[in-house]
């Protein structure tokens, strides 16, 4: 019986595939960009084939009327990712996102070769900077070099699927972007001035999960669409885009950073880059947002040579439930970026004055716990 079912589905698959129109691949620039990534749009035909093959596999796994085997479950989930629920407790497992402990980079449960100063992204798509100033990327614990000299670091979208950067050291440079999929090439964007007469460098301030790349600096502020038509449009007048978060874009009006002006959470239209503000946000020196929550350090707290601090402010994005997060006993927060792992938990680097560690904090519980991170000599 199962052989008859398999043969029937195979015939139907062939009939479907014969009538499916596969959209053409986007044209890539004639000059290959330096990053070695693949550009792979999702094909309708492939999706249909995968769905049908999954059906065949499920049928063939059945044995004598018994239920099919359950699908494998995720191994690194630490929360239920509920937006409004208050967690019963805070997990003490190592951060889910890539993180550095005393110069050692960890992606998932694996240590990445080299000594590292910076990292951003998720375990399936990240970029990092080694202590020699070179930039690397990865979709697992195997680092891959980002070729091409650059004055500014890359930027990655919140879901870790798209990296963009401005390459060039002076004069005219070029925007490039790439999917963090394991397979092949990058996409070259428009040429831009690397630095202006005032010494301001062009950088990528935000990459969105909808595939938009936003630049700022050197008198050039624009939105590039590498995933669609490779075109550009200006950022709406009066807005400066500061960063992209799990909750949306952080923008400011009347200023060029978050320490002053009107700061808002916003959305940006893909076609024309129109900005719609969602909620007011506090002025900040460092900030991240996800789900219902925003966490920030106010202006003036970590200026100059300040390397540690003692409090992170939190509240709901819509207002209310304001509170303060403090580090675990015996530790202080380090002056480095913190980030939300999901809609419930924030991870923050901490130190006891000798060694670095990580804390996981719950804005809802207004509590932080020390995490089980590897020691530097492992």
**pLDDT, tens only, 320-377:** 999 999 999 999 999 988 999 999 999 999 999 998 999 999 999 999 999 998 754 3
pLDDT tens column, 293-302: 999 999 999 9
pLDDT at 257: 93
Estimate the share of the chain in helix, then strand, then coil, as percent rounded to the nearest 5: 10, 35, 55
> In the predicted model, is pLDDT for residue 231 greater than 70?
yes
Residue 214: band (very low, low, confident or very high) from pLDDT cuts 50, 70, 90: very high
Residue-wise burial string across 262-292, b where 16 or more C-beta atoms lie within 10 A, e elsewhere: ebbbbebeeeebebebeeebebbbbbbbbbb
Residue 258 half-sphere exposure, CB side, CA atoms within 13 Å? 24
Give me the phi and psi of 312, to 5 degrees please.
-125, 125
* More confident call, 235 vs 185: 235
Give me the phi and psi of 247, to 5 degrees please.
-90, -15
pTM as predicted? 0.77
Question: DSSP 3-state assignment of 159?
Answer: coil
Q: How many angstroms separate the CA atoms of 90 and 169, rounded?
A: 44
pLDDT tens column, 91-134: 999 999 999 999 999 998 899 999 999 999 998 999 999 999 99
Question: Across all residues in the chain, what is the average pLDDT?
Answer: 81
pLDDT at 375: 55
Domain ranges of the chain: 2-61, 84-103+282-378
> In the predicted model, is pLDDT for residue 15 greater than 70?
no
Average pLDDT score over residue span 167-173:
91
Tell me the two tokens of residue 74.
């995720």
Contacts of 271 (CB under 8 A, 6+ apart): none
Q: DSSP letter at 360?
A: E
Q: How many angstroms separate the CA atoms of 374 and 212, rounded?
A: 36
Instruction: Give DSSP secondary structure letters for 297-333.
Output: E-TTSS-TT--EES-EEEEETTS---EEE-PPTT-EE
Highest mean pLDDT among 7-11, 196-200, 300-304, 311-315: 311-315
> In the predicted model, is pLDDT for residue 283 greater than 90?
yes
CA-wise closest residue to 121 among 137, 135, 110, 109: 137
CA-wise closest residue to 352 among 329, 326, 375: 329
């Amino acid at each position: 019986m199962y052989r008859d079912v398999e043969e029937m589905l195979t015939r139907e698959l062939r009939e479907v595939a014969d009538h499916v129109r596969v959209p053409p691949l986007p044209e890539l620039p004639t000059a290959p960009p330096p990053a070695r990534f693949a550009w792979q749009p999702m094909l309708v035909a492939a999706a249909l084939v995968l769905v049908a093959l999954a059906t065949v596999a499920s049928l063939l796994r059945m044995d004598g009327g018994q239920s099919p085997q359950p699908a494998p479950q995720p191994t690194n989930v630490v929360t239920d990712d509920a937006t409004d629920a208050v967690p019963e407790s805070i997990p003490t497992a190592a951060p889910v996102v890539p993180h550095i402990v005393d110069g050692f980079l960890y992606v998932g449960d694996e240590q990445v070769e080299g000594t590292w100063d910076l990292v951003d992204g998720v375990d399936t798509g990240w970029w990092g900077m080694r202590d020699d100033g070179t930039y690397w990327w990865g979709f697992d614990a195997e680092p891959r070099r980002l070729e091409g000299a650059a004055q500014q670091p890359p930027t990655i979208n919140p879901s870790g699927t798209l990296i963009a950067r401005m390459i060039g050291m002076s004069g005219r440079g070029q925007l490039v972007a790439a999917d963090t999929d394991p397979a092949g090439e990058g996409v070259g964007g428009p040429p831009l001035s690397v630095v202006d007469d005032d010494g301001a460098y062009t950088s990528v301030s935000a990459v969105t999960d909808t595939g938009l790349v936003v630049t700022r600096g050197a008198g050039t502020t624009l939105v590039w669409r590498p995933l669609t038509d490779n075109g550009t449009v200006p950022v709406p007048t009066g807005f400066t885009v500061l960063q992209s978060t799990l909750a949306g874009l952080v923008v400011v009006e009347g200023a060029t950073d978050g320490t002053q002006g009107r700061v808002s959470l916003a959305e940006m239209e893909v076609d024309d880059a129109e900005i719609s503000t969602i909620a007011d946000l506090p002025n900040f020196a460092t900030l991240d947002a996800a789900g219902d929550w925003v966490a920030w350090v106010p202006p003036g707290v970590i200026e100059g040579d300040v390397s540690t601090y003692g409090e992170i402010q939190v509240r709901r994005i819509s207002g209310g439930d304001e509170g303060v997060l403090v580090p675990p006993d015996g530790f202080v927060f380090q002056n480095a970026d913190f980030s939300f792992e999901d809609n419930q938990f924030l991870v923050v680097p901490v130190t006891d004055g000798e060694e670095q560690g990580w804390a996981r904090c719950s804005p809802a519980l207004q509590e932080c716990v020390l995490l089980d991170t590897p020691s530097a000599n492992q």
